[in-house]
C-alpha cells in the first residue's frame, strides 16, 4: 500500500467534544483551511436539529455528499484542510473519504459526563445542539479503528500538540 502524506484531517466526535475549537487551532498551527461541517447542512436539517429532532440517514445523504466534494476540491487544488464533523458512524466516514487518499481522522474521545457538562455551559451561549440530544449521539457513535485518538479531558493546547506529533 502506497503511503499518502496526510493533506486533510477530519476532526470527529460527538457534539460538545471540541471539534471546532481543536480544528480551528490545528488549522492555525498548520496554516491549513478550516471547515465546520455544521455550516454545510441544508436549512431543513438545521431546523430539525434546532427542534431537538435527530437527523436520520436520509437527511445526512446530501450533506455527506457535499462534504466529500469539499474534501475532493481541497485535495485537487492542493489546499490542505481540516473539517470538524461528528462522523459518528463508520459508513458516514467511508462516505466522507470515498475516492480520496491522504485523509486522516482525529477522534476526540471523552466520557458522556464530561462532554455533557461542557455542553451545558455552551447551551447558555445559544448553540443549537441540546445536551439531551447527547444520548442519541453516544448511541450512534461507532468508534473509529484507524484514527488518531485523543482524550478530550486534556487541554485544547495538549490535544493539538498530541495531534501534531501524531502526524
Residue 91 and residue 98: Cα distance in Å, rounded? Answer: 10
What is the pLDDT, as a whole number, of residue 128?
A: 56
Phi, psi of 121 (to 5 degrees): -65, -40
Residue 10 and residue 22: Cα distance in Å, rounded? Answer: 11
Mean pLDDT for the stretch of residues 136-154: 94
Residue 5, CB half-sphere, CA atoms under 13 Å: how many? 5
What pLDDT, in 10s, does the model give residues 48-62?
Answer: 988 878 788 899 999
Residue 104, CB half-sphere, CA atoms under 13 Å: how many? 16
Domains identified in the chain and CATH numbers: 8-165 (3.40.50.300)
Residue 111 and residue 132: Cα distance in Å, rounded? Answer: 15
Residue with grid cell 440517514, as numbered in its chain: 57
Amino acid at each position: 500500500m502506497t503511503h499518502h502524506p496526510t493533506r486533510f484531517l477530519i476532526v470527529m466526535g460527538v457534539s460538545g467534544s471540541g471539534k471546532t475549537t481543536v480544528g480551528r487551532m490545528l488549522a492555525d498551527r498548520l496554516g491549513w483551511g478550516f471547515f465546520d461541517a455544521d455550516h454545510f447542512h441544508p436549512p431543513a436539517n438545521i431546523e430539525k436539529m434546532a427542534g431537538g429532532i435527530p437527523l436520520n440517514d436520509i437527511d445526512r445523504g446530501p450533506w455527506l455528499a457535499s462534504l466529500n466534494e469539499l474534501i475532493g476540491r481541497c485535495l485537487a487544488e492542493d489546499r490542505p484542510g481540516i473539517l470538524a464533523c461528528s462522523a459518528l458512524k463508520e459508513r458516514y466516514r467511508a462516505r466522507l473519504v470515498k475516492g480520496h487518499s491522504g485523509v486522516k481522522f482525529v477522534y476526540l474521545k471523552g466520557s458522556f459526563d464530561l462532554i455533557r457538562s461542557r455542553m451545558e455551559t455552551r447551551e447558555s451561549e445559544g448553540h443549537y445542539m441540546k445536551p439531551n440530544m447527547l444520548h442519541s449521539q453516544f448511541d450512534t457513535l461507532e468508534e473509529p479503528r484507524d484514527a488518531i485518538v485523543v482524550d478530550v479531558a486534556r487541554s485544547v493546547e495538549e490535544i493539538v500538540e498530541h495531534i501534531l506529533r501524531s502526524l
